[in-house]
Homo-oligomer: A and B are copies of this chain.
Amino acid sequence: MTDIAAIRAAAARLAPVAVRTPLLESPFLDEIAGRRVLVKAECLQRTGSFKFRGAWSALTALPDDARARGVLAYSSGNHAQGIACAAQMLGVPAVIVMPSDAPALKLANTAFYGAEVVTYDRPGGESREAIGEALCAARGLTLVRPYDEPMVIAGQGTVGLELAAQAREAGVTGADVFVCCGGGGLSAGVALALEAEAPGLRMRPVEPEGFDDMARSLDGGARVANPALSGSICDAILTPSPGEITFPILQRLAGPGVAVSDDEALRAMALAMLRLKITPEPGGAAALAAALRPGMGESPVIAVVTGGNADPAMLIRALETL
């Protein structure tokens, strides 16, 4: 069970190692949106995404014997790097199960952080769960899920704690807070933190068009799945369906979801580079894309830029839209 006490405890464990990412503004973005836009630049976090927070929170919450045996994660993306980096810093053995056809850069980055990378034949239909379960059983590893994991949600919630304090310092007490949303771990953690610390701020999940399972699930009152798992450049937030643990939290606390197009995400990436001097990845820019839509009201809006692990070709593609 994740609650505000768990988030505060995670914040204390993260304080010595996490970046307190800044809340940035630019009048050029305000002009586009027609209102004040504030951006939590979480792409500046260790490993280039908020995932480090949840990983550190989960690993530091393990009993000593489980830490000594090690952890396992399935991921080809930011969760893999978050777990690998946190594990390396803590001296915890980490096994990351990745598809053998994952981008070479992602395989190399994960291995760079000292994790043992085990690949599986995704196109050939090999089951990562079967491989992972066998490894966990044989070595006593603890599986760390990317979002349906209370201590991961608690870690992600520390983004919301910081945001509550930073918004107050910026004089913002009422605003929508757009958060890029995959399985909902960050969204749920942020929503819980804002409920306790900044009740005038409302979390709203942002997803890619065609992959807005969370928005549709919130609308319909029950978890529904996406029709596919590829087809948007926002790969970091393409997940099968809302999490079992995250969804009830979001049903209680989230505002309506928003879906953005790939073109909107690319333009938001470009504007973030030009005006805020940060480099989001496409899925990390989705919330900013939603916040930049004009004619959506006059109260301030906050966007969390959740990750920055784009490859150079994608950054160039975004810059060429300017």
- Of all chain B residues, which has the CB nearest A281? B277
CB–CB B21/A22 < 8 A: yes
Q: Is A301 an interface residue (CB 8 A)?
A: no
Q: What 0/1 readout, one digit per residue, does chain A (147-158) give for beta carbons within 8 Å of chain B?
A: 000000000000
> How far, in angstroms, from A25 to B18 measured CA to CA in the complex?
11
Q: Is A216 an interface residue (CB 8 A)?
A: no
| Residue among B20, B44, B274 making CB contact with A277, cutoff 8 Å | B44
Q: Which of A127-135, A192-200, A207-215, A311-319 contacts B (4 or more CB under 8 A)?
A: A311-319
Using a CB-CB cutoff of 8 Å, which residues 110-127 of chain A contact chain B? 112-113
| Residue among B27, B46, B279 making CB contact with A278, cutoff 8 Å | B279
Q: How far is the CB of A235 from chain B (nearest CB, A)?
A: 17
Q: How far is the CB of A159 from chain B (nearest CB, A)?
A: 14
Residues of B within 8 A of A48 (CB): 275, 277
Q: How far is the CB of A248 from chain B (nearest CB, A)?
A: 33
Residues of B within 8 A of A46 (CB): 25
CB–CB A315/B319 < 8 A: yes
Integer count of this chain's copies in the complex: 2
Q: What 0/1 readout, one digit per residue, does chain A (1-45) give for beta carbons within 8 Å of chain B?
A: 000000000000000100111101101100000000000010110
Sorting the interface of chain A by its residue count into under 10, 10 to 19, 20 to 34 or 35 or more gives: 20 to 34
Q: How far is the CB of A55 from chain B (nearest CB, A)?
A: 15
Q: What 0/1 readout, one digit per residue, does chain A (271-285) give for beta carbons within 8 Å of chain B?
A: 001111111100000
- Of all chain B residues, which has the CB nearest A277? B308
Residues of B within 8 A of A85 (CB): 27
Q: Is A163 an interface residue (CB 8 A)?
A: no
> How far, in angstroms, from A43 to B41 measured CA to CA in the complex?
13
Residues of B within 8 A of A270 (CB): 312
| Residue among B276, B277, B312 making CB contact with A319, cutoff 8 Å | B312
Q: Jot down 13 A-B pairs with beta carbons below 8 A, ordered by A.
A: A24-B44, A27-B85, A44-B276, A48-B275, A270-B312, A273-B315, A277-B280, A279-B279, A312-B320, A312-B322, A316-B316, A316-B320, A319-B319
* A contact set with B: CB distance below 8 Å: 16, 19-22, 24-25, 27-28, 41, 43-44, 46, 48, 85, 112-113, 169, 270, 273-280, 308, 312, 315-316, 319-320, 322
